[in-house]
Amino acid sequence: MTEKKKVTKIGVLTSGGDAPGMNAAIRAVVRTGIYYGLEVFGIMRGYNGMLEDDIIPMNSRSVANIIQRGGTILKTARSKDFFETEGRKKAYANLKKYGIDGLVIIGGDGSFRGAQKFANEFDIPCIGIPGTIDKDMAGTDYTIGFDTAVNTAVEAIDKIRDTMDAHDRLFIVEVMGRDAGYIALHSGIATGAENILIPETKTDIEALIHSLTEKEKRKKLVNLIVVAEGEEFGGAEEIAKVIKERVPNADTRVCILGHIQRGGAPSCHDRLVASHMGYYAVESLLIGRHNVMVGVINNKIHYTPLDMAVKERQAIGQEWMKIVKILAS
């Protein structure tokens, strides 16, 4: 068996959508790398920085006073060119100029697909750190940014409830999550939503209308529906249109929270998870555990091969939906 080459210079990048806690992960990667005698380089704007040679040396001072900041000091972007063979060849040539022989990629499934292709084609091992507010990655109980995004949504919905109660209104609140319903599920349960609509379950619009009609008969005029943006019926606006037609007496309003959920200072939990994962990402490169995603399962570090991490999705257990139904009754 061929012995794996010792890693001496590593690059770190953030790719895809930003997530609170990415800076904490960058900080952990840089300082852990330096502690073990590695040279560390920051790659700006995700894979675009690899293609455009936007690569900078980093030291401990480069990551001072960033752990509490949202966003990412390395910037982020999505790169179509990196998914072309010629683009990856150009990126590889730029990395070799600096002698970079290991990569840490902080991002979601699209970022890991790029890392997997790159690692398979060239002699640069890649380690993935799941940084996405959607929590849609298999192989980890937590993704960086999810906890902060959920708490942002909960805080916003709590404020909306004050207006709901004051005006006896029905509010449909749309949260982010792309085609994953975790933000909607967690924020909906935490705010006492009467209905939670997510992509993982088929929306029964007739059952929803029946439920609202029955509540109207009982003079329950205040209702909260939390909807994931990727919900198959079409999102909050489409659902509101149907409700206004079928339950005309309901004073219905829509609030789409949008990108407010991506920003802000990361929660303590996200800072801890990011720091933990960043440390173990560097350790993995050092001991030769290559081309894996660093995750946390049952509060223990867990490693998932990149090709598995991009193929599988974390499923929502049906017991959660049963809990929603019981608690909202």
* CATH code 3.30.300.130 for 146-262: no
Residue 286's pLDDT is: 97
- The rounded Cα 96 to chain-centroid distance in angstroms is 30
Residue 84's pLDDT is: 92
CB 202 within 8 A of CB 232: yes
pLDDT bin (cut points 50, 70, 90) of residue 327 is confident
In angstroms, the CA 286 to CA 274 distance is 19
Among residues 134, 136, 147, 270, the one annotated as catalytic is: 134
263 among the known binding-site residues?
Answer: no
289 among the known binding-site residues?
Answer: no
Q: Which residues neighbour 158 within 8 Å (Cβ) at sequence distance 6 or greater?
A: 191
Residue 306's pLDDT is: 92
31 among the known binding-site residues?
Answer: yes
111 among the known binding-site residues?
Answer: yes
In angstroms, the CA 76 to CA 79 distance is 10
- The rounded Cα 306 to chain-centroid distance in angstroms is 16
When mean pLDDT is compared across 123-127, 156-160, 227-231, 308-312, the lowest value belongs to 308-312
Query: 54 an active-site residue?
Result: no
Residue 2's pLDDT is: 45
192 among the known binding-site residues?
Answer: yes
When mean pLDDT is compared across 264-268, 269-273, 314-318, the lowest value belongs to 314-318
pTM of the model: 0.93
Distances (CA, A) of 249 to 162, 241, 252: 20, 13, 9
Q: At what angle do helices 318-327 and 182-190 cross, to 10 degrees?
A: 30
45 among the known binding-site residues?
Answer: no
Say whether pLDDT at 201 is over 70.
Answer: yes
Residue 164 is inside which H or E element, if any?
Answer: helix 146-167
pLDDT bin (cut points 50, 70, 90) of residue 329 is low
Residue 41's pLDDT is: 98
Encode pLDDT of 60-113 as tens digits.
Answer: 999 999 999 999 999 998 888 998 999 999 999 999 999 999 999 999 988 999
Residue 39's pLDDT is: 98
* CATH architecture assigned to 9-145+266-309: 3-Layer(aba) Sandwich (3.40)
Q: At what angle do helices 85-98 and 109-121 cross, to 10 degrees?
A: 70
pLDDT bin (cut points 50, 70, 90) of residue 1 is very low
Domain limits of the chain? 9-145+266-309, 146-262
Average pLDDT, integer, range 52-57:
97
Encode pLDDT of 137-151 as tens digits.
Answer: 889 999 999 999 999
Are domains 9-145+266-309 and 146-262 of this chain identical in fold?
yes
pLDDT bin (cut points 50, 70, 90) of residue 311 is confident
Percent of the chain at pLDDT > 90 equals 77
CB 195 within 8 A of CB 208: yes
220 among the known binding-site residues?
Answer: yes
pLDDT bin (cut points 50, 70, 90) of residue 177 is confident
Residue 33's pLDDT is: 98
Residue 26's pLDDT is: 98
CA end-to-end span of the chain, whole Å? 61
In angstroms, the CA 206 to CA 164 distance is 23
